[in-house]
Amino acid sequence: MFKFDCRQVTGVIETLHVSSTEQGTVTAYMVIDGQVLPKVLLPGKIYEELDKGQRVTLYGIFTKKKDKMENKAVIYAMKGENGTLVAAREYQVKVPILILVSAIPVMILTFIIGCFASPYFIYLVTGSENPDYLVPTTFVWAFWEGIISGLVMVGFAINFIRKSNDPEGWAPIGIAELSQRFSKAFK
């Protein structure tokens, strides 16, 4: 579902080509230390700070899906040669809100699936086939399954807020290892 990690990568920018722009963000193709990073989403203020030949540390959220064609990078912050950290703090609010908004359909879907799956588990646990017991118990179980799935999503949002407060604490990754996550078709 959500396979990504928050990492930092350091290197010298050799190439920076914009492939598209959209509402204050830039999608770019970057070459850092000879390694290609395609489909990199950069907030406008971070893009304006980047220059060819500059040594930077990029703090990003990198997907790691099996299908390398779908992988993307979202740069959250950068530190240039002057040592100043430039961060897109708007993601610190937008991403958790998106996670919380997506929690609502996840809770509803979990409840619906729970209504169909829970009777089998209730029967296995209790052995009861009585509809007067099975039907209300099924709805109670499905309700709590939905609540638990919503709480998991809230946990994801809180985890993102916690991690985005300290991007310098993110684990480093080599540029060659990061480049391997993307398809050869983009290189």
Q: What is the domain-level CATH number for residue 9?
A: 2.40.50.140
Quick one: angle between helices 91-126 and 131-164, nearest 10? 150
**Span 90-99, mean pLDDT?**
88
Number of domains the chain is built from? 2
| 136 and 157 share one domain | yes
Same domain, 78 and 102: no
Q: What pLDDT was estimated at residue 110? A: 96
Within this chain, do residues 159 and 82 fall inside the same structural domain, yes or no?
no
- Asked if 22 and 81 sit in the same domain, the reply is yes
Our measurement of the distance from residue 106's CA atom to the centroid of its chain's CA atoms, rounded to an integer in Å, reads 16
What range does the domain containing 136 cover? 92-163
Residue 108 has pLDDT above 90, yes or no: yes
Q: Tell whether the model's pLDDT for residue 83 goes beyond 80.
A: yes
DSSP symbols for 104-163: HHHHHHHHHHHHHHHHHHHHHHH----HHHHHHHHHHHHHHHHHHHHHHHHHHHHHHHHH
Section 65-94 average pLDDT: 85
Mark whether 155 and 179 lie in a shared domain.
no
Helix (H, G, I), strand (E, B) or coil at 77: strand
Helix (H, G, I), strand (E, B) or coil at 95: helix
Residues 123-139: tens digit of each pLDDT: 888 888 888 999 999 99
Residue 180: predicted pLDDT: 83
